[in-house]
Each structure stands twice: as C-alpha cells, then as structure tokens.
C-alpha cells in the first residue's frame, strides 16, 4: 500500500515555544497554503511519521524540520529510526538547530539528513533563512508523491529471503 505525502504539509519538530511560533509565522507568511504541524519531542515525531497512535490517520509531511536538542528522543535518534526504514528515506529532513558542532553535523549526515541549518542569532537572518528554506523545499524541489507502507516493505523482505517468508 502506498502512503500519500501531503504536498503542502510541513512537520516541525521543535520543543522551544518561541522558536516554533517564529518559524510557523514566517513560513505561513511565505505561503498561506502551507500547513505546519508541530510536535514537541522526538518520540512524538517518530509516532507521527510512522503513523502510530494517535497519528494513524495522518498523511505524511512533504518536509520535516527537525531540531536536534529534543526531549524524550533527540533529533539524531529521530533521524536514525526514521531513515532506517527504507519506506521513509525519501521524506526530506532539514535539521534546524543552534548547534554548529562538527560532531552533530557528521552524525546527522550519517543518518541521511537532507540539509543541516544553524539557527542564526539575528531575527532578520533567521527570517531570510526560513523564506529560502520554504522557496527551495516547497517550490523548487520535486519530491515523490507517496512512500511504501511499512507492511509493504516487510512483505518485500519476506519475498527476498532465500528461505521464503520469514
């Protein structure tokens, strides 16, 4: 079964209320048709993307904007878990964080993040970055329109097994 990706939906994974409101305001000014859905921690982000309770009926986002420093599960743990599922590798993830540490960048790219951005301290630079992020990911980039469900991925693994179904 193919799971549709909602073209104008962005999942924001951000625990800081001020940052979340700022990001939401700028992105919705850039494009009022964009729907921004926010979750506040890494565990909730994983549940949302994998469509676990209470998110079973949610459509997948066209883009995930992910902070690294999150409660429950870090942004790195979110990337590691989601990008380990072949079905979800095509969903673009942009890390948006205050960390410019080389170890964080290396770890994020090792887990297949699509872009790594450091939040500027100046509001005007942050606004410019968010508008350009929106322009690229929501207008210029051409993503897939659906991903395979986890059940379908497991069925493919069964068929590939030399001993037959697992």
Whole-angstrom CA distances from 24 to 35, 64, 80, 84, 162 are: 9, 13, 25, 28, 49
Look at residue 145 and tell me if it is in a domain: yes
* Residue range 148-152: mean pLDDT, rounded: 52
Q: What is the CATH number of the domain that holds 7?
A: 3.40.50.2300
Look at residue 132 and tell me if it is in a domain: yes
Entry pTM: 0.83
Domain hosting 117: range is 2-160
Q: Which helix (H) or strand (E) holds 112?
A: none
Structure confidence at residue 153 as a pLDDT band (50, 70, 90): very low
Look at residue 166 and tell me if it is in a domain: no
Q: Which residue has the higher pLDDT, 148 or 63?
A: 63
Look at residue 25 and tell me if it is in a domain: yes
Which pLDDT score is estimated for 10? Answer: 92
The dihedrals phi and psi of 62, each to the nearest 5 degrees, come to: -80, -20
Sign, CA dihedral 64-140-112-148, equals: positive
pLDDT digits (tens, 9 = 90+) for 67-81: 999 999 999 999 999
Look at residue 49 and tell me if it is in a domain: yes
Domain count, the chain: 1
């Amino acid at each position: 079964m193919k799971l549709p990706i909602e073209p104008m939906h962005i999942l924001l994974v951000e625990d800081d209320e001020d940052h979340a409101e700022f990001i939401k305001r700028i992105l919705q000014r850039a494009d009022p048709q964009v729907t921004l859905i926010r979750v506040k921690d890494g565990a909730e982000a994983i549940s949302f993307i994998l469509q676990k309770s209470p998110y079973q009926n949610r459509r997948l986002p066209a883009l995930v904007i992910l902070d690294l420093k999150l409660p429950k599960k870090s942004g790195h743990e979110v990337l590691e878990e989601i990008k380990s599922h072949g079905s979800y590798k095509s969903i673009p993830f942009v890390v948006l964080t205050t960390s410019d540490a080389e170890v964080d960048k290396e770890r994020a790219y090792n887990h297949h993040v699509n872009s790594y951005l450091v939040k500027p301290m100046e509001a005007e630079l942050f606004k410019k970055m968010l508008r350009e992020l929106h322009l690229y990911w929501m207008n210029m980039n051409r993503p897939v329109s659906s991903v395979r469900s986890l059940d379908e991925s497991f069925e493919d693994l069964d068929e590939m097994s030399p001993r037959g179904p697992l």
